[in-house]
Amino acid sequence: MSAAGAIAPQLVLFGGPAGAGKSTLATAWCATRPLATHLQLDHVRELIVSGRADPQQAGPQQTEQFALAVRGCCALARVFLAGGYDVAIDDVLEPHAWDNVWLPALADLQPQIVIVLPSLAETLRRSRGRAKRVQEGHTRAQHAASLAWPADRRIDTSSLDVPASLDLVQALLERQSRNPGGG
């Protein structure tokens, strides 16, 4: 609670493979809030004008720029949270990157986590329909990695429209609020 008695702003991280619908749901969730901002890791990474590594090509420069973009997202989140805004951040959030990059950058922040994980077939179908092209092998690997998240952090939106998917997001966030240590 803030000094004025209002509920503290929420930080929600939306994860899942390319094409899962995490940006769509993060935007929809933000639209339900009085004040909210949606930070996309990809957009923060695109702030690099010269020397930007291809995020689909593993290597030291790509790894360093990913970590830099994560720290940038977390710094921006802190600014908006301090201003009273709810914040949604979206990224793939593979468990290895979560442990090694996200957790240290989040430090004192207490995010809630939503892993958007439709079936692999649905994820691939959605991914093919996007303007942003992600290699199918990456999407498959991201989907497999996302399965490592605990079931109580994942939502399956395979046959759902955005409003029904948003209902799942809200229910998951309510459960996490009641049981913050969950897992």
* pLDDT value, residue 2: 42
Domain of residue 47 covers 11-178
Task: Identify whether 103 is part of a domain.
Answer: yes
Task: Identify whether 29 is part of a domain.
Answer: yes
* pLDDT value, residue 7: 81
Contact call for residues 134 and 19 (beta carbons, < 8 A): yes
Closest CA to 90 of 46, 27, 157: 27
Give the chain's domain count: 1
* Residues 11-60: tens digit of each pLDDT: 999 999 988 999 999 999 999 999 999 999 989 988 888 888 777 778 88
Task: Identify whether 162 is part of a domain.
Answer: yes
From first CA to last CA, the distance across the chain in angstroms is: 24
Task: Identify whether 4 is part of a domain.
Answer: no
Task: Identify whether 183 is part of a domain.
Answer: no
Tokens of 173: 């966030």
The Cα–Cα gap between 2 and 161 comes to: 35
* pLDDT value, residue 59: 84
> What confidence tier does 3 reach under pLDDT thresholds 50, 70, 90?
very low
* Residues 125-171: tens digit of each pLDDT: 888 877 777 778 888 889 999 999 999 999 999 999 999 999 999 99
* pLDDT value, residue 35: 97
Task: Identify whether 51 is part of a domain.
Answer: yes
Task: Identify whether 63 is part of a domain.
Answer: yes
* Residues 65-113: tens digit of each pLDDT: 999 999 999 999 999 999 999 999 999 998 889 999 999 999 989 899 9
Task: Identify whether 6 is part of a domain.
Answer: no
CATH of the domain at 116: 3.40.50.300
* pLDDT value, residue 29: 97
